[in-house]
């Protein structure tokens, strides 16, 4: 599938992303660990999963903000910097890399939450009071 924005980091609305996350169904018969192996089967037979991924695609295909963009640069194999231009208080970033509990994110030196979204990607959602 060709995405409008194929970059590794993409700015999105944090509130809309949270609404998409609420739609994520439980893995059902597949454990989270083997979910990726059986995802094709789930998507073809599970309407909740199909709806969730459809809403995720709508989120990332919808333009966000006026000239708002996110750029990810690999500093070294273990560290990445993400720069967000024209962010607002509701800006979050989807990192299109497999979510891993070992990842951490910091904004101005303060740790911010990372959660899973879409096909096991990462959502970094800075909260304004943590950024100050």
Tell me which DSSP letter residue 33 carries. Answer: G
Give the three-class secondary structure for 124.
strand
Return the domain boundaries, the chain.
Answer: 9-131
pLDDT of residue 129: 47
**107/132 Cα distance (integer angstroms):** 9
The neighbouring-strand residues paired with 25 are none
State how far the alpha carbon of 19 is from the alpha carbons of 15, 52, 126, in Å: 6, 10, 16
Q: Give the pLDDT confidence score for residue 121 in this predicted structure.
A: 93
From first to last of its 132 residues, what are the pLDDT tens digits of the chain? Answer: 566 667 889 999 999 999 999 998 865 545 444 455 455 454 556 788 888 989 999 999 988 887 888 999 999 988 999 999 998 888 999 999 998 888 999 888 889 989 999 988 999 988 754 433
Residue 43, helix vs strand vs coil: helix
Model pTM score: 0.76
């Amino acid at each position: 599938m060709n995405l409008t924005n194929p970059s590794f980091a993409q700015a999105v609305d944090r509130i809309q992303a949270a609404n998409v996350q609420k739609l994520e169904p439980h893995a059902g018969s597949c454990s989270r660990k083997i979910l990726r192996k059986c995802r094709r089967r789930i998507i073809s037979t599970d309407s909740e999963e199909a709806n969730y991924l459809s809403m995720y695609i709508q989120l990332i295909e919808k333009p966000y903000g006026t000239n708002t963009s996110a750029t990810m640069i690999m500093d070294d194999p273990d560290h990445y910097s993400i720069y967000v231009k024209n962010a607002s208080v509701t800006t979050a970033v989807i990192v299109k890399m497999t979510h891993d509990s070992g990842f951490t994110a910091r904004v101005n030196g303060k740790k911010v939450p990372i959660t899973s979204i879409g096909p096991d990607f990462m959502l970094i959602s800075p909260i304004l009071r943590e950024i100050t």
